[in-house]
Amino acid sequence: MSRISEVFRNKKHKALIAYITAGYPDVEATVQAALTLAESGCDIIELGIPFSDPMADGLTIQHSSHLALLNGVTTETCFEIAGRIRNRSDVPLVFMTYLNPVMSNGVESFCADCAATAVDGLIIPDLPPGELPELDSSAKKHGVDTIYFVAPNSSGERIRLVARRSSGFIYMVSVIGVTGVRDGFSTGLGDVISKVRQVTDIPLCIGFGVAAPQQAAEAVALADGVIIGSRIIQLMEKEGPPYRELGEFIKQVRTSIDGAGA
């Protein structure tokens, strides 16, 4: 059983997943933020590999990615960061990246490096499921989960394809659009989640727009976990390590979703 699957083994426990941009605001801060998140109640850390054209990301994450690139952060740097986090924590790590960095490194090499650095999963927003079967096979060979997206407007065919190709969990996009803080979810989200439940028992985690403890509780009332990104980056902009305010926010979210799960 993978580290990610272990998170979802207890069906009553709702997963809290946090996104941070690798190398933002610098390497040391990224490592400290990840450790703070894990210690404060996050079950999985999603590390974003900075990319020049992050098409799925809103302004907050775009800005953090841009600054990381200006600081000279590369894909190799991101593997180094993952390794440093792994040396100090067993928290599952997932790379959120785009297809270009994977192809530049080579699919087999990238997946092998993930395994060597104990990165547990991959999220690639600009890769439709089934378009690069060698990635799925290489990731599976190296014990790396592949996580694909379902949106509120996904067709039945798309849902079935995602269910076949995904492992670890399925990323449920809460709204049509990019990442960023929002007030609520798409009105059709519950319906599409029901459709996904009919074809797979893979855990479902809701992301895009979740920014407050109550929103997180509403998400886990529908799904098996929740993903928070832009709000975390905003809190990192306000303070530096050891990120006490960030830690308190995560504890509040943890309490909220534990209450919802109960």
Dihedral over Cα of 2, 74, 211, 166: its sign: negative
Rounded CA separation 179/181 (Å): 7
Q: What distances in angstroms separate CA 122 from CA 8, 54, 130, one per listed residue?
A: 17, 15, 14
Question: Which DSSP state fits 17?
Answer: E
CA-wise closest residue to 182 among 172, 190, 174: 174
Give the other-Cβ count within 10 Å of 252's Cβ: 16
**Catalytic residue of the set 57, 136, 145, 224:** 57
Q: What distances in angstroms separate CA 13 from CA 6, 39, 41, 88, 223, one per listed residue?
A: 11, 17, 12, 24, 11
Q: Measured between alpha carbons, how far apart are the two ends of the chain, in Å? A: 25
Is there a catalytic annotation at residue 46? Answer: yes
Query: Dihedral through CA 113, CA 119, CA 120, CA 122, nearest 10?
Result: -70
Is there a catalytic annotation at residue 80? Answer: no
**Catalytic residue of the set 46, 113, 120, 136:** 46
Rounded CA separation 92/42 (Å): 10
- DSSP-derived secondary structure for 177-233: S-SS--S---TTHHHHHHHHHHH--S-EEEESS--SHHHHHHHHHHSSEEEE-HHHH
Known catalytic residues are: 46, 57
